[in-house]
Amino acid sequence: MLRSTKAPTKMNDPDLCFTLSAREDKPTKTGFGEGIAEAAASEERLVVLGADITASVGLDLFLKRFPGRFISLGIAEQNCAAVAAGLALGGKIPVFSTYAAFAAHRAADQIRISICYNHLHAIIGGAHAGISVGPDGATHQALEDVAAMRALPGIVILSPCDATQARLAAICAVSDLQGPVYVRFGREAVPDFTPTDLPFVAGKGQVLRNGTDLTIMATGHLVWEALQAAGILSQQNISARVVNIHTIKPLDEDLVKQCALETGAILAAEEHQRTGGLGSAIAETLARLSPVPMAFTGMPDCFGESGTAAELMEKFGMTAPHIANQAIQLYKRKSAFS
């Protein structure tokens, strides 16, 4: 289990844009499964492909409700992607999910040529993403999947911050988007804090906390940590804006530029290699539109290890205190830069 201390609420933190507090700890994989099952109730074309880990990726909820629209293909990730392409060409909306380490890498050729080249509407669930998979170790900790998927033309990459947002992201992927969609989510129970009435609009970041000294742009599980870090920073008179980037591609470039102009520095925070993920996408945008000092929270060019989620998050610097320390150093660089 990751950090579950209560976030400050709007009642005692005027900088928060919404009332944010953890209702419970819940895996994002469960939210993804709930969203797919909910979308299937109104979309009869939706079918799910199983790869022998259906419950592990949250899709057992769909199987229980719609067994006639579930196809078990066994441990064959490349085949899942190829069959999904065929189903999409036949007018269905296929969903397949496996561990992100396998979805993004083992099935990369089929996703690239069969799905993306044909710009087919298929939803790919990248489960167990990030270092917080914990004891499964380096082979199952997907830390390069965003980099691999982001390079593919036409694909949308969604990275929800909690279970509620994972449900909304899954529904959006089925009902509102066209073409290939990669949804990245984790296994561990994490604080579920997204307001249930907060709209999910693909491609639009969410400012969760106002701030003027710097911006922390986070994705996935690190959004919660970023909010906690902003609270730490406020005690040191550093005003940090927190933005939830739930859509890594297409990136909300207008919001990135706005935050750069208004706060003068950006810290990217993600459970991914520092290379090729959210931080790289933000840096590419800033280089074109509004260069400002930047820092990166993520894996430091190494593979993961076995351990509890909390141990690994601490070791690799992805907890709120680490993010706050990086933000302090970034703020000092910004002051020197200006």
* pLDDT of amino acid 338: 65
- Would 6 be classed as within a structural domain? no
| 90 within domain boundaries | yes
Split into its structural domains, the chain has a count of: 2
The pLDDT value recorded for residue 5 is 45
pLDDT under 70: residue ranges of the chain: 1-12, 338
> Looking at residue 237, what is its pLDDT?
96
Same domain, 223 and 245: yes
Take residue 253 and report the two structure tokens written for it.
Answer: 């470039």
Containing structural domain, residue 184: 25-192
pLDDT, position 14: 83
Residue 276 and residue 232 in one domain: yes
> Does residue 11 sit within a domain?
no
pLDDT of residue 8: 44
Contact in structure between 31 and 58 (CB atoms under 8 Å): yes
Pairwise CA distance, residues 137 & 165, whole Å: 26
Q: Please list, in sequence order, all residues whose beta carbon lies within 8 angstroms of the beta carbon of residue 111, skipping any fewer than 6 positions away.
A: 81, 103, 104, 124, 149, 152, 180
Looking from the CA of 94 toward its CB, the CA atoms found within 13 Å total: 25
Residues 224 and 167 in one domain: no
Torsion of CA 176, 145, 306, 5, to 10 degrees: -40
